[in-house]
Structure 1
């Protein structure tokens, strides 16, 4: 090779994807073929960034092995090798749910990304087929070295090559899955212990070789059946029937291995997911070794997956893992590392310095942040947004730091006038970060269009309900005709529900998947479109035709685990604080008067993000509080419980929040308001579902901050200093005078305007 050596760019990065087995696990270890796909969660290798407290990861055996082998290769081919102290920082994005790994091949992705970073630092193009082959050879050897020869190497191959591959020890062949095939991943609820399962299986196979060989042969045949189903010449129904058959055969082979190993490969939760999928006409199997982690489900459409997700969550509390894109790109250079929300001392910097740090962390151009200036929304633009415009009112926008959600960092724009909200949420997010961050998942983005029917003849309401339910397919077809572009984007009508409110009133619900839109306008169109047809079917008179803002089918669910020591105050240890927070949570669960204030604290964080991104905070508030009373009694949206260790000591605090998040990233103020557009860019232009999870995380962080303050020093102490600053400014303090006067007001314990003016006079006299 003749490429000239080159040192790594200061902030350059190389990333590699995770993987998911679609079929053929276990059998691939015995020489059979497996099908593996790259999923778009990525490990990044990059240089440390000066504004963050980032450190290389030399203690990882996978990084150490990769560095050793790739450095040797570079030296052997006359390339310059980065100095030993120039180890890359390794950042994994999306491989976890809170503090639990999801079994997506993070070690292989880390190994591949490390190898890729060293090759890129030598000036080599890691996206070229030739260099990828070199990277694959080095990464497979390094990964095998780090795990002492275990594993097939399929995860490393996918991390380097990307896409979907047919893998065996004899070779790797790229393959294509049908465009109609929808693939989803459900959370089996526990981390799989692959090493333990393999050890148990090896021990069992030694005494039952014939049964073991038969089970492996069955799984191998299932894999071949699956691969044959991917033939593009097959009709969809025939191909999907073959996929269903392949999954059934694979699962039967796993049950046989389970008996041989005397270990749980198909746990009760996995069997529940498989059973529900088969009942719904879908196909499912564990992805990976089983025993936990994920179950992969195959369907003819994304809508079918969403319907299964709704059923599994509401019946069994089993969640569809956030959207994982398959066929992800393999090893690649990145223009910059992923966002790190830990920016040291951001609150101490000037506004200009904060903007510089934000631009550096997110990649949003510094000039673009001028859209957060007070005059960003010109009166002329505002005049086209609402009626009778006379001006524009500005609110402060801050950045919530320390947020990690599903393994990905976010710097969170928050627009709010109440002091302490941004700081408190950021501090709580730091505590949560220590426990792995926020784990979250969402319901499908389904909203409800309502059509009210009022009695206009003598037909019994039960008969009318039956007529409408009998016309379900026609009504869904009409609803989709109202928004063909929504259907093209994967959305559309999902179900018809009929509710008999009283003898004279029936309401028809049309459930619509709104994708990335909030959906108000399209839902109203759907309701208007269906009203004449419903009148003809029922003989009753349609009256109101409008969306419902109770978005109970479109909730976001987040949970956290906070190590107890992170909660400690000057007066109380972490366990005591955790216990007090649980007691405060129980208070809200028992008393609607307390629950109202509890939920208001949650909405401090939620609404701040809703407003910053140009979404409808009034709809969010209405939906959240209606959701809080869905059980018939007003209660808290978030709850907290202590977690005890084997010695009955409090080890951690666990919290969870469910909240409707009918928000969008297309249309409305999210696109017409320059500051809202900028806020979405800072968040990395998330999907509507992702934005809802970010809002829920901000709400849970705000709740934790408020409960911790209440459980320790009381809510007033933190508010006092911030209130003192506001009083100081109102009294005329400027610049450094504000902090000095605020401190004096707190010291004297009298935060009043007249006292502030007197102390300001003394302060200025003393400075002469």
Structure 2
């Protein structure tokens, strides 16, 4: 019997959200909340999926040359649409496991929920991207194609098509990039083909202190992107003007970071936050929820920089060049009922292991 495991981290977009869709650079941090996938071979030829975070237990499926076919209730199969989408993508890439073998597929995204809330609230840390990366990597290794995981830039490009298709082609893939690469990265879409690429940056950022705040509100990124696509079609010139300004500020902030000019970087993140708020007003997206607006006011009073992360509404990041000012802000948000979430850098990125479940030792597939 063979057991194969893979995992991938979540992400926070620290800078460049929305503008990254138009080729601007984004600053992205892989965080230590991971999606885990486990594949166990079976002797009875049965294929099933276990996903407790989706309320799914032993959903049966069959595999043949035409793809994956669910043998369970349609409502259950609907919860597993990402699994089917990734499988189809792996088939197109020639990386899917062959038909005729039985296995159990276990999916765990529990780290992407706030354990202190009831009912559990989902944290906006890119769980679907992390699960896509972990699942595709596990399937590739299980099918005997572990070598594709070695070139992370190329693996990112292949994965982006899988996850982007599931999102209707609207996403930038910035979350997939963080899950593949790990660490702090500069992520950008370049060229006519909008090819994704990343480069590693140092963490922590020299002279910059930060913390992450959760507003307590879950947000659908896909819904935001659908509405943005409609507005972009209707108001193309206005959309371009906002994207140009956001892109200019993101590039300038990353250059300041490269120079280790902490004060300029923090000032530019404030400017980006203001431009992001103006963009949200123009297009009708609630990038700043009421809770986020309150956080921005508290940050201004404390002399620190605050901005939403990603699509907006749930997580935000606070930057300061002075640790005491950051502590003052943290004390101020407690009476307001806001939550500082302790998130750390995940430097590993996607990771995979395989072992014989009897009389053998684990083998690491990707380091």
What TM-score bracket applies, with the shorter chain setting the length?
Answer: 0.7 to 0.9
Matched position secondary structure for 1:222: helix
Q: 1:9 aligns with which of 2, 16, 28?
A: 2
**What is the SS of the residue equivalent to 1:325?**
coil
Partner of 2:292: 270
> CA-to-partner distance for each residue in 1:428-479, whole Å, 9 max, x for gaps?
xxxxxxxxxxxxxxxxxxxxxxxxxxxxxxxxxxxxxxxxxxxxxxxxxxxx
What pairs with 1:597-746 in structure 2 (closer than 5 Å)?
A: none
Partner of 2:178: 158
Aligned to 1:593: none
Quote the offset at 1:86 in angstroms.
2.0
- Which runs of at least 4 in structure 1 moved beyond 6 Å after TM superposition? none
Indicate yes or no: 2:263 matched with 1:241: yes
**Matching residue of 1:92:** 109
Q: 1:286 aligns with which of 308, 325, 340?
A: 308
- Pairs within 5 Å for 1:283-682: 283-290=305-312, 292-300=313-321, 304-314=325-335, 316-321=336-341, 323-333=342-352
Question: Which structure's relative contact order is higher, taking Cα pairs within 8 Å and 6+ residues apart?
Answer: 2
Question: CA shift at 1:227, angstroms?
Answer: 0.4
Q: Give the superposition deviation at 1:196.
A: 3.2
Structure 1: runs of 5+ lacking an equivalent: 1-7, 337-768
Give the distance between the partners of 1:213 and 1:134, measured in 2 at CA.
Answer: 30
Match of residue 20 from structure 2 = 28
Does 2:243 correspond to 1:216? yes
Per-residue deviation, 1:181: 3.0
**Aligned residue for 2:215?**
188
* Alpha-carbon distance in structure 2 between the residues aligned to 1:164 and 1:9: 34
Larger C-alpha radius of gyration, 1 or 2? 1
CA distance in 2, matches of 1:83, 1:44: 25
Residues 486-516 of structure 1, C-alpha deviations (whole Å, 9 max, x = no match): xxxxxxxxxxxxxxxxxxxxxxxxxxxxxxx
Summarize deviations over 1:683-702 as a string: whole Å, max 9, x none. Answer: xxxxxxxxxxxxxxxxxxxx
Kindly indicate whether residue 144 of structure 2 is the aligned counterpart of residue 120 of structure 1: no
Q: 1:93 to 1:63 in 2, by over 3 A?
A: same
Aligned-pair RMSD on alpha carbons?
A: 3.0
Per-residue CA distance 1:209-244 (angstroms, 9 max, x = gap):
33322221121122112201222x53xxxx232222
Equivalent residues of 1:283, 1:299 under 8 A apart: yes
Q: Give the number of equivalent residue pairs.
A: 316
Instruction: Note the C-alpha offset of 1:160.
Output: 1.1
Q: Tell me if structure 1 keeps the 8 A contact 2:2–2:354.
A: no
CA distance in 1, matches of 2:146, 2:229: 41
- Stretches of structure 2 lacking an aligned partner (at least 5 in a row): 43-49, 60-75, 191-196, 356-367
2:113 matched to 1:81? no
Change (3 A) 1:89 1:83: farther
Distance 1:126 1:102, change over 3 A: farther
Instruction: State the match for 2:168 in structure 1.
Output: 148
CA distance in 2, matches of 1:157, 1:223: 18
In the alignment, is the contact (CA less than 8 A) between 1:166 and 1:172 conserved in 2? Answer: yes
Deviation at 1:91, TM superposition (A): 0.4
Distance in 2 (alpha carbons) for counterparts of 1:84 and 1:125: 18
Question: Compared with structure 1, are the counterparts of its residues 198 and 208 closer, same or farther at alpha carbon in structure 2 (3 Å cutoff)?
Answer: same
Alpha-carbon distance between aligned partners in 2 of 1:220 and 1:68, rounded to the nearest angstrom: 34
Deviation at 1:127, TM superposition (A): 9.5
State the alpha-carbon separation in 2 of the partners of residues 329 and 174 from structure 1: 12
Displacement of 1:189 after TM fit?
A: 2.4
Q: Please report how far the alpha carbon of residue 279 of structure 1 lies from its aligned counterpart in structure 2 after TM superposition.
A: 2.5
2:365 aligns with none
- The structure carrying a bigger helix percent of its residues is 1
Decide which of 147, 163, 173 is 2:199's aligned counterpart: 173
Stretch moving more, 184-193 or 103-112: 184-193
The answer to whether the Cα contact below 8 Å between 2:207 and 2:262 also exists between their aligned partners in 1 is no
Paired with 2:269 and 2:97, the residues of 1 have a C-alpha distance of 49
TM-score (norm 2): 0.76
For the residue of structure 1 that corresponds to 2:319, the secondary structure is strand
What TM-score comes out, normalization by structure 1 length? Answer: 0.38
1:175 deviation in Å?
Answer: 2.3
Q: Alpha carbons of 1:150 and 1:200: their partners in 2 closer, same or farther (altered >3 Å)?
A: closer
CA contact (8 A) 2:97 2:139 kept: no
